[in-house]
Structure formats: C-alpha cells, structure tokens
Structure 1
C-alpha cells in the first residue's frame, strides 16, 4: 500500500509500505479520509518523543471495512485502543486507561495510508447519507464534545449558558459547536489569524472575535500555551469553569491564586470516552453540529505540502482532510 511516512523532523515521504495485518478482533479499513491533527504537527516538528520516526501518523479517519462479516461497511474510527478491563475502562472512562494505545503512536501505525487495522469495537457505522469526509471529523469533534460535556456537568445551574473558546482550530470549533448543541445560547471564539477568523464567520456562521469583552461562566482553552492560559484565567468569571484541552506548552500562564480565591473549577480534558465518541458521531449524523463543511481536502500524496502550509499559517480552514490517491 501507499502511505505518508514521517521520516525525520519536518520530513514526510509518500512511499510504498507493507499492508497491515489485522490481529484477532481487528478489522482492516480502507481509508477514505484522514485529518491532520495538531498532534501530527507536533510529531512532524520533532516535539513528540512518543512518535519517533519512521512512523505512519494520522488518527482522524473514516473508510470502508475490507473483508470479514462487515465487508463493505462504511465506518468512522475511534483511534483510542484500550484494555476494556481496568477500573477506568469499566467505569466508562476509557481515555484514562493506563495501557491505552492510539493509532499513529507505536506500536500502532496510523491512518495516513491506504489501509489501517483497528479493533472492530472501535468502529462506528456511517449512514449512507453522510460522506466519509465528514465522518472523519468524528474524532476531533469528540475531543470538543467530551470537554463540553464535562464543562456542562461542572457548571453551576444558576450560571447563564455563555461560553468562550480560545482558538479557532478544529478542536476550538468542535468545542463551540458541541456547547451550542448542548444548549449554550452564546458562544464566542477568539482567533487571531485573520484569514481563519474570516473563514469561520463566513463559512461556519460562528461568533468570532480578536478580543475578549467581559467574563464568561465557561472558558475553553483549545490552544494550551502559557499566553492562552493567562487569557483564559482572566476571562472566566468567579465560580465558573475553565476547560483546558490544548497541549501547546507544558507550563506557565495559569493564575492559580485567582482560581482559588474565586472558586474557579479547572478541568483538564483528554480525548473522549467510547460513549462520547458514539454520542458525537450520532450528533453529527443527526445534523446537530451543523453542515460540517469547514474542511479543505487534498490528496494524501500531497500531504507534505499540506503540513508545510499549516506550519506557515497558509490554511484558513480549521481542518485539512487527506484523501488516499485512487
């Protein structure tokens, strides 16, 4: 098969590789669409020692099952592979499984390829009226859905349903759409990139701004740098909730004193549970998350250029979807 292989820092090669061999309980999926995630970019830049080269990256995928009793089924992939038996898994918090794996991280190759292997329990059937390109958004949207669910559960019942999202990338957009689907009447995204800001306002119909006005009961940091944590700490109102999703930078920025004195709830959120993934997919299929038309598609063979364009800020759409070449 053909695959886009991460070979060295800022180096990707489109080349022939060995077809994956499904193990017991796994399916082989022919990839139709796969998104470029921020974690793929971190690996590409050499900032993620969990993803050493050479490696096939990519974990936001949808495609068609090849072989077996479900041959030909259209599916979207939950890339988080967990043990299913530990306390975390048994309590529906699979994302905290101590032995969790994810495709695109050893020992599992990713989905920037013609084919990928994945446990059958990780596959969600996609209705015929939903494109596989849209279905590939289930993974990044599930990250925002999981965070939004935790925030809604933690928010005091008397607080107005108003939210602020810092960062207009796919996770920020997913968080905003998820909050809206969960009953938030007012959600604002802060995005400094002018072309991205214009794209979100024009294509997605979202409230987008460059500056924050006032305080918000719920704030999402979908970037995760010290500077954005500082902004988020100042923007959340007393008694509110700060959701931290972004992994841009490890330390700095969090105003712990203000959070303590103002009883602000801080929640770190990571990926999603299996139920969150299924709920996200169903919300997408039902149309509760909008038309999901905020992607740009490119051939997988042109993936190296796509990474460079993202790195240099030349992409207005929140998500680039790569399509394996026919």
Structure 2
C-alpha cells in the first residue's frame, strides 16, 4: 500500500510500505479521507518525542471496511484504542486509560495510508448521505466537543453564556461550533492571521477578532502557548472557566495569582471519551455542527507540500484532508 511516511524533521516521503494487517477483533479499513492534525505538525517539526521517525502519521480518518462481517460499511475512526478494563475505562473516562494507544504513535501506524487496522469498537457507522471527507472531521470536532462539554459543566449557571475561543484553526473553529450546538450563541474567535480571520468570517460565519479586550465568562484556549494562556488568564471573568485544549508549549503564561483571587477554574482537556466521540458523530450527521464545508482536499501524494504550506501559514482553510487514492 502507499503511505506518507514521516522520515525526520520536516521530511515526509510518499512510499510503498507493507500492507496493514488486522489482528483478532480488528477490521481493515480502506482510508478515503485523513486530516492533518496539529499533533501531526508537532511531530513533523520534531517536537514530539512520542512520534519518532520513521512513522506513518495521521489519526483523523474515515473509510470503508474491507473484508469480514462488516465488509463495505462506511465508518469514521476513533483512533484512541483503550484497554476497556481499567478503572478509567470502566468509569467511561476512556481517554485517560493508562494503557491507551493511538494510531500515528508506536506501536500503531497512522492513517496517512491507503489502509489501517482498528478494533471493531473504534468504528462508528457513517450514513450513506454523509461524505467521508466530512465524517473524517469527527475526531478533531470531538476534541473540542469534549472540551466545551467540560467547560460548560464547570461554569456556574448564574454566569452569562458568552465565550472566547483563542485560535482559529480546526480545533478552535470546532470549539466555536460546539459552543453554539450546546446553546452558547455569543462566541468570538481570536485569530491573529488576517487571511484565516477572513476565511472564518466569510466562509464559516464566525465572529472574529485579532486581539480580544474585555472580560468573558468562558475561554477555550485552542493554541496552548504561553502568550495565549496569558490572554486566557487575563480576560476570563471572575468565577469563569478556562478550557485548555492546545499543546503549543509546555509552560508559562498563566497568571496564577489572578486566577486564585478571582476563583477562575482551569480545565486541562485531552481528546474525548467514547461517548463524546459518538455524540460528535451524531451532531455531524444531523447537521447541528453546520455544513462543515471549510476543509481543503488534497492528494496524499502531495502531503509533503501540504505540511509545508501549513508550516508557513499559507493555508486559509482550518483543515487539510488528504485522499490516499487521488
């Protein structure tokens, strides 16, 4: 099969690789769409020791099951493989399973390939009227769905339902969409890239701003570097909530004194539970997250160029999806 292989810092090769093989309880999926995630970019830049070269990256995918009792079914992929028996899994916090694996991280190769293998429980059936390119957005949308759910659960019912999303990439846009789907209508997306801001406003219907001034009850930091954390801890209203989902930098930025004195809740969020993933898929299928027509489709063979374009900020669309068969 063909695959896009991470070979070293800022180096990707499109090669013939050994065919993916399904183990007991797994299905082989013919990938039709696979999105480029921020974590893929971190690996590409050499910033993720958990993803050493050579490795097939990619974990936002949808395709068609090949062989077995579910042959021909269209599915979207939950890339988090959990043990299903530990306390975290039993309590339905599968994203915190200490034995979890994820495709695109050893020992599991990723979905920037023509085929990938996953357990039956990781596959969600996609209706025939939903394009697989749209179904492939389930994973990144689920990340934000999970973050927004946790933030709204923590926010006092007495506080206004207003929110600031920091970062207008796929996770930030997904957070804005999830907030609206969960009843928060007043949402502003802070995005410094003017090309991206225009795209978000004109193509995605978002209210955007270069730099937010004022105070807001709920902030979603979808970037996660020192500067965005500083903004989040400065503009969150007393008694408000920060949901931190970005992984840009490990440390710095938070005004701990202000957060303590103003009783601001900080929530670190990681991926999603199985229920969050399934709820996100249903929200996609029934249209609650909008048309989701803001991704850019490219051939997997052109993946190296796509990564370079993202690296240098020359892509307006929040998401590039790669097609292994184009």
Match of 2:290 in 1: 290
Equivalent residue, structure 2, for 1:57: 57
- Residue 304 of structure 2: aligned partner: 304
| Equivalent residues of 2:145, 2:178 under 8 A apart | yes
> Separation in 2 of the partners of 1:114 and 1:46?
24
Q: 1:153 deviation in Å?
A: 0.4
Aligned residues of 2:88 and 2:94 also touching (Cα < 8 A):
yes
TM-score by length of 1: 0.99
Please state how far the C-alpha of 1:325 moved relative to its aligned partner.
2.2
Q: Is the 2:191–2:209 Cα contact (8 Å) retained in structure 1? A: yes
CA distance in 2, matches of 1:77, 1:308: 26
* Equivalences for residues 161-176 of structure 1 within 5 A: 161-176=161-176
Aligned to 1:223: 223
1:176-222 deviations in whole A, cap 9, x for unaligned? 10010000020000000011000010111011111213211100100
C-alpha separation in 2, matches of 1:231 and 1:199: 23
> In 1, Cα distance between the equivalents of 2:134 and 2:243?
26
Distance apart, 1:268 and its partner CA:
0.1
- TM (norm. structure 2) is 0.99
1:188 counterpart residue number: 188
Aligned to 1:24: 24
Distance in 2, matches of 1:313 and 1:210, equals 16
- Where does structure 1 lack aligned partners over 5 or more consecutive residues? none
Q: C-alpha displacement at 1:20, in angstroms? A: 1.0
Residue 235 in structure 1 maps to residue 218 in structure 2: no
What SS does the corresponding residue of 1:237 show, helix, strand or coil?
Answer: strand
Match of 2:176, SS?
A: helix
Counterparts in 2 of 1:1-326, with a 5 A limit? 1-326=1-326
Aligned residues: 326
How far apart are the structure 2 equivalents of 1:195 and 1:291? 21
Cα distance in 2 for residues equivalent to 1:207 and 1:131: 27
Deviant stretches of 4+, over 4 Å = none
Partners of 1:66 and 1:235 in 2: how far apart? 50
Once residues 135 and 56 of structure 1 are traced to their aligned partners in structure 2, the CA distance between those partners, rounded to angstroms, is: 21
Alignment RMSD (CA, Å): 0.6
- 1:8 & 1:260 partners in 2: Cα distance? 42
Q: 1:253 and 1:152 mapped to 2: Cα distance?
A: 23
What is the rounded CA distance, in whole Å, between the counterparts of 2:42 and 2:145 in structure 1? 22
State how far apart, in whole Å, the 2-side matches of 1:48 and 1:187 are: 32
Task: Tell me if structure 1 keeps the 8 A contact 2:32–2:325.
Answer: no
1:185, 1:112 → 2: CA distance? 36
CA distance in 2 between counterparts of 1:214 and 1:255 reads 16
> d(CA) in 1 for partners of 2:223 and 2:185?
23
1:204 counterpart SS class: coil
In structure 2, stretches of 5+ residues that fail to align are none
SS at match of 2:23: coil
Q: Quote the Cα distance in structure 2 between the aligned partners of 1:51 and 1:212.
A: 35
How far did residue 310 of structure 1 move?
0.2
1:80-139 deviations in whole A, cap 9, x for unaligned? 000000000001100000010000000000000000001110000000110000000000
